[in-house]
Amino acid sequence: MITLFPNERLISQSTDGNMNLTTHRISYEHKSWGQFYNQSILLEDIISCENKDRDRTLSWLITLGVLFIVMAFIIPAKIAGILLGIICFALYRVIEKDIIVISSPCIKIKIIVTGMRRQKIIELVDKIEQAKNERLISMKKTDCNSNAPMG
């Protein structure tokens, strides 16, 4: 669970609690291959937010998997061909994930959203952009109030 700053409110949180969107920042925790990542970007520092579908650059793994399985019925080494095909499909599933990339000038947060419906992904990106907009407006109001002449 994220520790909130004074005057900070939680806007949205992933079901697993790894992604938190607040009125001030977005934070993401992720564990992968024995490593633990904890990243946070202040909303005013976000320069872009994008949804990246499964990268098609690895679609050659699917093609190779299909080729191995088709070849398994042509050549005598059927088990080896089917096994190699299954390995190619599994590699594709493990390597590539659907992600949302939130960028600042210094870091990128890559939120894994594999299995999330497209409409929910769009709603999440919209929430992030709306929260950033509201943060910038509130900061501008604060700046205007602090610059007001005393009278």
**In tens digits, what is the pLDDT along the chain, a chain of 151 residues?**
788 989 999 999 988 889 999 999 999 998 877 888 899 999 999 999 988 776 566 778 888 989 988 888 888 888 888 899 999 888 887 776 788 999 999 999 988 887 788 888 889 999 999 999 999 999 888 777 766 565 5
Between CA 47 and CA 44 the distance in angstroms is 8
Between CA 74 and CA 70 the distance in angstroms is 7
Q: Are residues 16 and 35 in the same domain?
A: yes
Is 21 inside any structural domain?
Answer: yes
Q: How many domains does the chain have?
A: 2
Pair of tokens at residue 46: 């976000």
Q: Are residues 109 and 42 in the same domain?
A: yes
Distances (CA, A) of 78 to 42, 74, 86: 55, 8, 12
β pairing state of 19-22 and 10-13: antiparallel
